[in-house]
Amino acid sequence: MDDSSLNRVVKDICAKDRRYHPGAYFFVMEALDYTARRLEKQAKEGQERHVTGAELLEGFRLYTLEQFGPMGLTVLHAWGIATTEDVGAIVFNLVQSGKLRKTERDSIEEFSGVYDFEEAF
């Protein structure tokens, strides 16, 4: 999916669910790419992996710190992201839109209470 189609998907999602700033969706997608690249380096050559909720949340934490440093929490709050549950809600909005896929093992509960944002950022 190119940038213009991602823009349309995010615009459609935000029209239905106003909890999160559009930037939150783009950032979660970037964090997912970041996480997948990190895991790819650790996997055997040619082996594709599905990113779990826990893996995504750890990648999200690391990517946020890398991109924003001590301002990470402030930026996330400006986008409406205050908990790991918010990250999960964004992911599942993207799944419902068809932008992301999930397996039968994936659930929104994977994102519940994984870490405290005040401590993590």
Residue 46 has pLDDT above 70, yes or no: no
pLDDT tens across 67-88, in order?
999 999 999 999 999 999 999 9
d(CA 74, CA 89): 19
For the segment 13-23, what is each residue's pLDDT rounded down to a tens digit? 999 999 999 99
Q: Which two tokens stand for residue 18?
A: 């106003």
Please give the pLDDT value at position 28: 98
First to last CA, the chain: 31
What pLDDT is attached to residue 45? 61
Q: How many CB atoms lie within 10 A of CB 116?
A: 10
